Amino acid sequence: MLSLQKLTSRALLLAAVTPVAFAQPVFAQQAKMSENPFLQPYRTPHETVPFNLIKNEHYLPALKEAIVRGKKEIDAIVNNPAKPTFENTVVALERAGDDVNKVSAVLFNLNSSETSPELQGIVREASPLLTEYGNDISLNEKLFARVKAVYEQRDKLKLDGQDKMLLEKSYKGFARNGANLSEADKAKFREISKELSQLSLKFGENVLNETNEYELLITDEKDLAGLPEFAREAAKQTAKQKGKEGWLFTLQAPSYGPFMQYADNSELRKKLYLAFNSRGFQNNKNNNEQTIQRLVQLRYDRAKLLGYKTHADYMLEDRMAGSNDRVKEFLDEMLGHSKPVAERQLADLTNYAKSQGFKGQNLEMWDFGYYSEKLKKERYNLDDETLKPYFKLDNVLNGVFTVANKLYGLTFKENKDIPVYNSEVKAYDVFDENGKFLAVFYGDYHPRPGKRAGAWMNGIRSQEMLNGVDIRPHVVNVCNFTRPTETKPSLLTFNEVTTLFHEFGHGLHGMLTKGKYSSLSGTSVAWDFVELPSQVMENWCYEPEALKLFAKHYQTGETIPQELIDKIRASQNFLAGIGAMRQVKLGMIDMYWHSQQPTGESVADVEKKIDQKTSLIPVPAGVATSPAFSHVFAGGYSSGYYSYKWAEVLDADAFEAFKEKGIFNKEVADKFRRNVLEKGGSEKPMELYKKFRGREPSPQAMLRRSGLVL
C-alpha cells in the first residue's frame, strides 16, 4: 500500500491534511529555535533525517517557523513586479514550502509508524495549521491569476513534457482546491477542510486504539489445539512481555491471522473474529460510525461546492478510470467473472468442512480461514509451518535486493551511520549499476503499539532537480511481520513474503524516479496507476528462478526444493474467486459511500446492501468493514480502493512481457524502468503503459492468472 500520508504537491499540499484557524507563530526564545534540528542543515549521511536529535517539542515550533518562511516565498511570487512566466511563477511555486515539507514528512511518517498519545496530540494541532497554509495558497487570487496567465500562454511557451505536466497540474490544482469560488464559498471550503482533517485523524486513532486495547489471554493449553508451534511461541512471548502467564493473542496481523487459520476452538475463533471486525463499530469511545457519516457528507459538500456531482466524480477526474460510471462498470465486470467461481469454491470448501466434522449447514465467517487452511494442506500438502523455515526475514530481504539487482542493477548496503527512528529499523544506501548513489532505503518490519496495522511505503524526501543537482529520494517500507522469538528468527508466511515484495515495488517506484519536479516524481501518479509497480513485484515470489535465490532453510541452509515451489505455484489460485469477491466488495463499499448524495443510511444498512451482492457467507450482526476501513476514511483511497483490482489487470499484463522473454530479461526490465519506474507522474499513465507494452492492457492476463477464465 502507498502511504496514506503522502504529500503530493510541495506548494499546495493538495488534500493531504485539513484546516483550522491559522495561529501566527510567536517565539520568545530565538536561541531555542537555533537548536531545532529541523531548522538546521542536516549534517548526516545523504542529509537524512536526524531522528536521534528530534524530540516532540521540536515539531510545532519548527512547523510554525516553516510556514512563516513558506508564506514569505509565496508573497515573493505574488508581489514579483515582473510579468508571470513559467519560471518565476510555476517553478517558484513548486519550490516553495521546502521547510514545511521537511517537517511534515517526518511528523506524518512517525504518526503512522512510531506514534504515541503525545505525538497524536501534536498531529492534531499541526494538521489544521498545514491545511490552512495549503488553503492560503490555493485560495490566493493573485497567485492563481499569475498561474492562470502562464497557463493561458502555454501553447506559445517552449516547454518540455515535464514542464507542461507541471503547468497543467498546478493550474488544475488551484481549480480543484477552490480558487474559482466566491469569497463566501471559499470560507465554506476552509471550514469543510478543517473538519475533514480532524475527522480523518480521529478515525485512524480510534482504529489504532481498538487494535491495541484488545487481548485474548489463554491459560488452558488445550485451547491452543491446532495452533502450530510458531503461533504458540509468539503468543507465549507476548504474554511474557506484558507480565502475564499463558498465551496472549492480539488483533495484530501476525497474531490474529494464524489463530483464525489454525485454532481448533471455534468459539475462540468467533470471539477473536468479532473483536477484529467490530473495531470502530462498538458502543464506546472508539466508535467511528458518526465519523463516517460526517466524513461522507463533508466530502460530498466539498465536491458540490467545487462543481462536481459527487465526491467520486471529483476524485476520479484525473485518474485512469476517469469516471464514476467506469469504476462501477469495472467492479461489476470483476464481480461477474469472480462470483460463479467463488460460489463453486465455497461449495467445495463447505463439503470439505462437513467431511471434517463440521456440523452446521453453512460455514460462518470465523470458520472460513480455518477450513481453507485445512483444505489447502490436504490438497497441496502445503501450509505455513512447512514454508516458514525457508523464509527468514533477512533472507527474503536479501532476496528482494537480489531481484532488484538482476532487474535494475541496484545494490543495497546497510549504513549504520544513518539515524533511524527505532532500533528495529535498518537504513541502506542504494547504488545503481555504475556504483552511483541512488537513494536511501529504510526497512521497518515488525509490529509495535505505536505502529498502525498493515503495510505501506512512505516518502521521507522526494526526488527533484534543484539548481542542476539531482536530489535523490529517501523512502521507507513499513510492515507488521512475525517477530523473532526466543528460539527462532523472524520467519515469514508466504503471504508476508508477497507483502514485502509488494511494498518494495512501491519503494522502487520512489527510488528509481528521474525527474525535474518533486510533485511529479516517484509515486506522485494517478491513484489507479500507483499499485502497478508494487503488484507486479509480487509475481517474482512465484517464480522458481527467483525463489531459489533467497528461499533457504534457516537452520540447514537448504534451498527450497522444487517440490515445494511446485506446490506454491499450484496453490496460487486457491480460492482466488472468493479472494476476488472480497476485493470487489471493498471497492463497492467505498464507491457506495462516495458516488452518490449521502442519505444518512447507517453503516449496517449500507454494508447489508453490498453484502447481498458480494458476500457468500452471511455476515454476523455486530461487525462491519467501514468503521475500520482506514484506506478510505483515514487515508487517500476514498473512491480509489478499486485501484487494487484495476492494477491487477495492469500487473498481470505487464508481467506477461517478462514471462515472454525471461523474468530477469534486461531489455524488458530496462523498458519497464524507463517508461514506468523512472517517469513518476510526468506523463499520462496510459501513455506510459503503452510505451512499455506497446498497447493498452488486456484484462485477459489477470483473468487467466487468477483462474477466473479457462
Which residues belong to the active site? 503
Give the β-pairing of 456-461 and 216-218: unpaired
User: Hey, what's the cell of 240?
Assistant: 511474557
What are the start-end ranges of the H helices in 438-543? Answer: 494-511, 532-538
Which neighbouring-strand residues pair with 464?
A: 471
Which neighbouring-strand residues pair with 428?
A: 414, 441
What are the start-end ranges of the H helices in 530-614? Answer: 532-538, 544-550, 562-570, 576-594, 603-614
3-class DSSP string for 29-43? CHHHHCCCHHHCCCC
Phi, psi of 471 (to 5 degrees): -80, 115
Which neighbouring-strand residues pair with 458?
A: 476
In angstroms, the CA 277 to CA 214 distance is: 12
Do 230 and 291 meet the contact criterion of CB atoms below 8 Å apart? no
Which neighbouring-strand residues pair with 32?
A: none
The set of residues, in sequence order, having a beta carbon less than 8 Å from that of 121 and lying 6+ positions away, is: none
For the chain, give the number of residues.
Answer: 710
Give the β-pairing of 474-478 and 437-444: parallel
Q: With the C-alpha atoms ordered 461, 466, 468, 469, is the resulting torsion angle positive or negative?
A: negative
Do 262 and 370 meet the contact criterion of CB atoms below 8 Å apart? yes
The set of residues, in sequence order, having a beta carbon less than 8 Å from that of 142 and lying 6+ positions away, is: 78
- Ranges of beta strands (E only) in 205-334 are 216-218, 247-249
In angstroms, the CA 274 to CA 268 distance is: 10
Closest CA to 315 of 328, 300, 294, 330: 300
